[in-house]
C-alpha cells in the first residue's frame, strides 16, 4: 500500500465511505469545469500524458477561447514521443455537454481577482483587518465563499442530472465551503475536496528527517495522522519509514529552528508563499499538536498573529499576499507562473513534459483497481473526527481503493484546539445554511462569528460587510441583497 502504510492505516476506518464507480483502466471520460484554467489544466495535461490511462477530456468554460487554447495544448502534448497516455481534448461552453456521462469531474474555477480578490484584501485592511491571504476564511474568504457557493450548487445539480455516479474532485477554494455546498445540494454526490498543503507539509517533514536524523526520505516515506478543516489541519503523529518523528519535532520546536524572529526587511524580496513554520512551531508549543498547513493560511484561523499589522505578521516569517500580487498573478506575462500555454505552443518558450506534484493520478489509479493509496482529502464528517459536527467537511487521511474512498478515523482534539476549530465550523455551516435561500442576514451572522471580524464593533462589522457586498455586488446575484436588513441598516448608519 502506498504512502502512509506504516501508521495511519492501523486506525479504524469510519463507518461510511464515498463509494462511486470503479474506473476502467483503459479509457474513461473527464469533464473539467473551469477548463480555461491557466495553471491547473496545463498541469493536468502533463500528468495525463505521463499516465497509463486514456480517454476523452472535455474542457468546459464560459470563456470558451481559453478552453480552446488549453484543448489545443492538450492535443499538442499528445503528439509528443514522450506522451504515454492516449487522450483527446475538446472545448465547450455547454456544461451539460461536458458532464454527459462523465466518469470523472474536476472543478477548478475563479473569478477575475482584479474585481474580487483585491476587494477581499483591501477593504478589510481599511478596517484594520490585515489578512494574509483572504482566500478561505476571514472577511475576504467568506465573501469568496458567498460568490462561489451558489455556482457550485448549480454544478452539483447538473452533476446529479448528467453524471450522478461520477467521481468529483474539487480544487476550488475555499475548499471546505465549496465541497460542503456540493453535498448540501446533492447529498449522494461522490465529491472530494483536494488540497496540497498537507503534501507540502510531508515534504517538509521528510527534509527535517534527512537533515537531523540522516534519513534519506521523501514524501512517500512520511506518515502523519491528519485532522482538522482545510488550511487548518493538525497532526498528532508523524513517522518517517517507521521512525517516530515526534521527539525530533519537540526538540526543534523548543530550539533555534522553532524560535526565529524576522524583520519586515528580511521578507522584502521573499515570495508570499515563503513558509518559515514559525507560527506552526509556536502553536505546537502552546497546544501540543502541530499544524500542517502553510503558516500564511494558519494565521487566518489562529488570528493572534494578524494583530499589529505588517510588522507583527512579518515577525513570524509570514508575508502578506497583497492585492497587487493577486492582480499581477492574473496576467501570465506579468506573473511568475510556470505555465504559459501560448508561449509553449508558439515556440517562444521551451516545453519539457513534466509531472506535477499533485496526487490526483495516484487516486485515479487506485480507484481503477491499482495499488491502494492513502492521502489527505476533504469529506463530510461521518465519524472520522469524533468531536466535530457531523456532516461538516473535514480533512483527514483516506484509503483509496477500487471504486471507493474511505476516510480513516483520526480521533479528536484537546479542548482548546477543538474550540478553535469549532468556531470556524460554525461560520462555514451558518453561511451554507444561508445560501440555501440567499439569506444575506443569516450570512452576516456567520460573518460575525469569524475571529478576524470579532476585532470590530458590530456596527463596524456591518459596515465592512456592506462595503464588500457593494464592491462585489455583480458576483452576488444569487443572494437577496435587496431584502437584507443588514445592508439597509449599514446604509443608514
Annotate the chain with three-state secondary structure: CCCCCCCHHHCCECCCCEECCCCCCCCEEEEEECCCCCCHHHHHHHHHHCCCCEEEEEEECCCHHHHHHHHHHHHHHHCCCCCCCEEEEEEECCHHHHHCCCCEEEECCCCCHHHCHHHHHHHHHCCCCCCCCCCCCHHHHHHHHHHHHHHHHHHHHHHHHHCCCCEEEECCCCHHHHHHHHHHHCCCCEEEECCCHHHHHHHHHHHHHHHHHCCCCCHHHEEEEEEEECCEEEEEEEEECCEECHHHHHHHHHCCCCCCCCCHHHHCCCCCCCCCCHHHHHHHHHHCCEECCCHHHHCCCCHHHHCCHHHHHHHCCCCCCCHHHHHHHCCHHHCCCCCCHHHHHHCCCCCCCCCCCCCHHHHHHHHCCCCCEEEEEEEECCCCECCCCCCCEEEEEEEEECCEEEEECCECCCHHHHHHHHHHHHHHHHHHHHHCCCCHHHHHHHHHHCCCHHHCCHHHHHHHHHHHHHHCHHHCCCCCHHHCHHHHHHHHC
Instruction: Report, as residue numbers or ranges, the catalytic residues.
Output: 196
Burial classification of residue 105, based on how many CB atoms lie within 10 Å of its CB (0-12 exposed, 13-18 middle, 19 or more buried) = buried
SS3 category, 14: coil
For 113, phi and psi rounded to 5 degrees? -65, -25
Distance, CA of 6 to chain centre: 26
Predicted pLDDT of residue 5: 37
C-alpha cell at 383: 465519524
For the chain, give every domain's residue range. Answer: 1-19+112-136+196-321+358-488
Per-residue pLDDT, 71: 97
Query: Each residue of 229-257: pLDDT tens digit?
Result: 999 999 999 999 999 999 999 999 999 99
Helix (H, G, I), strand (E, B) or coil at 108: coil
* Per-residue confidence (pLDDT) for residue 6, from 0 to 100: 39
Residue 101 corresponds to which cell in the numbers above?
Answer: 456521462
In sequence order, what are the residues at sequence separation of 6 or more whose Cβ sits closer than 8 angstroms to the Cβ of residue 89? Answer: 45, 56, 57, 59, 70, 71, 72, 73, 74, 75, 78
Q: Are 244 and 223 in contact (CB under 8 A)?
A: no
Instruction: Express each pLDDT in 150-193 by its tens digit.
Output: 999 999 999 999 999 999 999 999 999 999 999 999 999 999 99
Position of cell 505546537? 284
Identify the segments of the chain with pLDDT beneath 50: 1-10, 12, 15, 493
Cβ contacts of residue 338 below 8 Å, gap of 6+?
A: 39
pLDDT for the residue numbered 15: 47
Q: Please tell me the pTM assigned to this model.
A: 0.94
Residue 185 is predicted with a pLDDT of 98
**Are the CB atoms for 452 and 303 separated by under 8 Å?**
yes
Buried b (16+ CB within 10 A) or exposed e, 111-124: eebeebbbbbbbbb
Nearest to 136 by CA among 40, 228, 229: 229
Q: Which fold has domain 1-19+112-136+196-321+358-488?
A: LDH C-terminal domain-like (3.90.1820)
Q: Give the H or E element holding residue 3.
A: none
Q: What is the DSSP letter of 13?
A: B
Write the DSSP string, 216-234: ---GGGEEEEEEEETTEEE
Report how far residue 372's alpha carbon sits from residue 401's, in angstroms, rounded to the nearest whole number: 5
Report the distance separating Cα 233 and Cα 3, nearest Å: 18
What's the pLDDT at 242?
94
Residue 283's nearest CA partner among 265, 301, 268, 266 is 301
Amino acid at each position: 500500500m502506498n504512502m502512509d502504510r506504516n501508521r495511519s492505516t492501523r486506525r479504524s476506518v469510519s463507518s461510511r465511505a464515498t463509494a462511486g464507480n470503479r474506473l476502467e483502466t483503459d479509457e474513461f471520460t473527464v469533464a473539467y469545469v473551469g477548463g480555461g484554467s491557466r495553471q491547473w489544466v496545463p498541469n493536468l495535461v502533463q500528468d495525463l500524458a505521463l499516465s497509463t490511462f486514456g480517454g476523452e477530456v472535455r474542457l468546459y468554460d464560459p470563456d470558451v477561447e481559453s478552453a480552446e487554447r488549453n484543448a489545443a495544448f492538450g492535443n499538442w502534448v499528445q503528439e509528443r514521443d514522450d506522451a504515454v497516455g492516449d487522450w483527446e481534448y475538446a472545448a465547450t461552453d455547454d456544461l451539460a455537454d461536458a458532464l454527459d456521462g462523465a466518469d470523472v469531474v474536476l472543478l477548478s474555477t475563479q473569478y477575475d481577482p482584479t474585481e474580487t480578490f483585491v476587494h477581499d484584501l483591501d477593504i478589510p485592511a481599511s478596517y484594520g483587518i490585515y489578512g494574509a491571504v483572504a482566500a478561505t476564511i476571514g472577511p475576504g474568504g467568506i465573501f469568496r465563499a458567498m460568490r462561489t457557493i451558489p455556482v457550485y450548487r448549480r454544478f452539483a445539480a447538473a452533476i446529479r442530472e448528467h453524471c450522478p455516479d461520477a467521481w468529483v474532485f474539487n480544487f476550488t477554494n475555499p475548499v471546505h465551503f465549496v465541497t460542503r455546498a456540493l453535498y448540501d445540494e446533492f447529498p449522494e454526490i461522490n465529491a472530494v475536496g483536494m488540497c496540497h498543503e498537507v503534501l507540502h507539509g510531508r515534504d517538509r517533514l521528510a527534509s527535517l528527517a534527512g537533515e537531523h536524523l540522516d534519513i534519506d526520505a521523501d514524501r512517500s516515506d512520511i506518515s502523519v495522522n491528519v485532522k482538522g478543516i482545510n488550511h487548518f489541519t493538525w497532526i498528532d503523529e508523524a513517522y518517517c519509514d517507521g521512525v517516530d518523528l515526534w521527539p525530533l519535532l519537540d526538540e526543534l520546536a523548543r530550539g533555534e529552528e522553532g524560535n526565529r524572529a524576522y524583520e519586515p526587511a528580511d521578507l522584502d524580496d521573499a515570495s508570499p508563499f515563503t513558509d518559515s513554520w514559525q507560527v506552526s512551531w509556536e502553536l505546537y508549543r502552546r497546544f501540543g499538536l502541530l499544524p500542517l498547513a502553510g503558516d500564511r493560511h494558519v494565521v487566518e484561523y489562529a488570528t493572534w498573529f494578524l494583530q499589529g499589522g505588517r510588522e507583527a505578521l512579518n515577525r513570524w516569517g509570514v508575508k502578506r499576499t497583497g492585492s497587487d500580487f493577486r492582480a499581477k498573478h492574473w496576467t501570465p506575462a506579468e506573473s511568475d507562473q510556470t505555465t504559459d500555454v501560448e508561449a509553449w505552443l508558439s515556440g517562444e518558450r521551451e516545453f519539457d513534459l513534466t509531472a506535477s506534484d499533485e496526487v490526483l493520478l495516484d487516486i485515479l489509479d487506485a480507484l481503477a483497481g491499482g495499488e491502494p493509496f492513502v492521502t489527505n482529502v476533504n469529506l463530510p464528517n461521518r465519524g472520522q473526527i469524533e468531536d466535530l459536527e457531523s456532516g461538516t467537511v473535514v480533512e483527514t487521511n483516506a484509503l483509496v481503493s477500487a471504486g471507493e474512498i474511505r476516510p480513516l478515523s483520526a480521533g479528536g482534539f484537546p479542548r482548546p484546539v477543538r474550540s478553535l476549530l469549532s468556531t470556524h465550523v460554525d461560520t462555514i455551516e451558518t453561511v451554507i445554511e444561508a445560501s440555501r435561500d440567499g439569506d444575506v442576514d443569516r450570512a452576516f451572522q456567520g460573518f460575525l462569528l469569524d475571529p478576524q471580524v470579532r476585532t470590530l464593533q458590530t456596527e463596524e462589522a456591518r459596515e465592512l460587510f456592506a462595503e464588500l457586498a457593494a464592491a462585489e455586488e455583480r458576483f452576488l446575484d444569487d443572494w437577496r441583497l435587496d431584502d437584507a436588513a443588514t445592508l439597509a441598516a449599514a446604509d443608514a448608519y
